[in-house]
Amino acid sequence: MNRLIVTKTPKVYIGGAFVRSESGRVFPVKDAAGAFFANVPQCTRKDLRNAVEAAAKAGPGWARRTAYNRGQILYRLGEMLESRSSEMAEAIALGAAGRRAALREVVAAVDRLIHYAGWADKYEQVLGSVNPVSSPHFNFTVTEPMGIVGVVAPDAAPLLGLVSLIAPAITSGNTVVALASGTHPYPAVVFGEMLATSDLPGGVVNLLTGFRKELIPTFATHTHLRAITAVADAAERKALRLGGADSVKRVRLVKAEDDTDWFGDAESGLYAIRDLIEFKTTWHPIGA
């Protein structure tokens, strides 16, 4: 007699813990053949609020980690993903992608993490500066994380898109509250399990599953989110910028209709980090 397999209850990863939506609501995810696969939490604005609280709590500690340490943790995350790449590929393949394409997406995501791991202790040297002011002052500009960054991931490339938006944010010490692809949320659930086994402190990355329509207005208006990086359609972009205006949010938008090539080099690198940092300039007199 065949053994009945034990299925996994997908949960979202908030504050380093796996939880269900506070609302108790779920929505079903189907496999490639259209059969029921599992129920995924349908997160609400209150879950988003809780995630922001968790991110706020983790923020100062994460920002204070040394750049070297953040780099190693990102690298470790790459290791986790690489070592469980077939599991992740299966999760991606639940969607439309074939198994080959899914695997290709996983290794691209690993490479992206390794890319940012290397940036952690370098971007400051490229972006910061010592400024030759014309008065007897030492003047230098350093970068700092913005704080809590809201991420709205694309439906295309549900893992690679998500990783491409999260990685530059946390490289510089931001913490993240991310909404996974609405159509293919399961890879994000698996990614949460990898985050938990990497050395990333709980609360640095918080992953929500749910409906964009329901959550984007809260992403836009939650004033504690200092920045939003989102792949969004025209209406969503307007909503994010309109809501973001109230707290003068930094809003970084990729057009959903642009059919972004997430595998390309354009979607990684220094300038994605730059979009999610603040420049701080310090003056001090030079005297005795």
Q: Using CB under 8 A, which of 68, 134, 178, 180 touches other proteins?
A: 134
Contact region with other proteins (CB under 8 A), list: 18-26, 113-121, 199-207, 264-272: 264-272
Contact region with other proteins (CB under 8 A), list: 45-53, 99-107, 123-131, 210-218: 123-131
Q: Is residue 286 close enough to count as binding other proteins by CB under 8 A? A: yes
Task: Indicate the residue among 100 and 280 with the shorter CB distance to other proteins.
Answer: 280
Amino acid at the residue 281: T
| Binding string, residues 218-237; x marks residues near other proteins by CB under 8 A | --------x-------x--x
Q: Using CB under 8 A, which of 17, 32, 96, 133 touches other proteins?
A: 133
Tokens (6 digits) for 58: 């983790």
Rounded to 5 degrees, what angle do the CA atoms 24, 25, 27 make? 145
Task: Indicate the residue among 183 and 281 with the shorter CB distance to other proteins.
Answer: 281
256-283 in b/e form (b: 16+ CB < 10 A) is: beeebebbeeebbeeebbebbbeeeeee
Q: Collapsing DSSP states into helix, strand and coil, what is residue 271? A: helix
Q: Is residue 288 close enough to count as binding other proteins by CB under 8 A? A: yes
Q: In 3D, which of 164, 170, 125, 163 has the Cα closest to residue 143?
A: 125
Question: For the chain, what's the residue count?
Answer: 288
Quick one: CA dihedral 273, 55, 58, 10, positive or negative? negative
Segment (H or E) for 235: helix 234-245
Task: Indicate the residue among 32 and 126 with the shorter CB distance to other proteins.
Answer: 126
Tell me the pairing of strands 26-30 and 36-41.
Answer: antiparallel
Q: Is residue 66 close enough to count as binding other proteins by CB under 8 A? A: no
Q: Is residue 246 close enough to count as binding other proteins by CB under 8 A? A: yes
Contact residues for other proteins, defined by CB under 8 A: 126-127, 129, 131-137, 139, 141, 144, 146, 226, 234, 237-239, 241-242, 244-248, 250, 253, 269-271, 274, 278-288
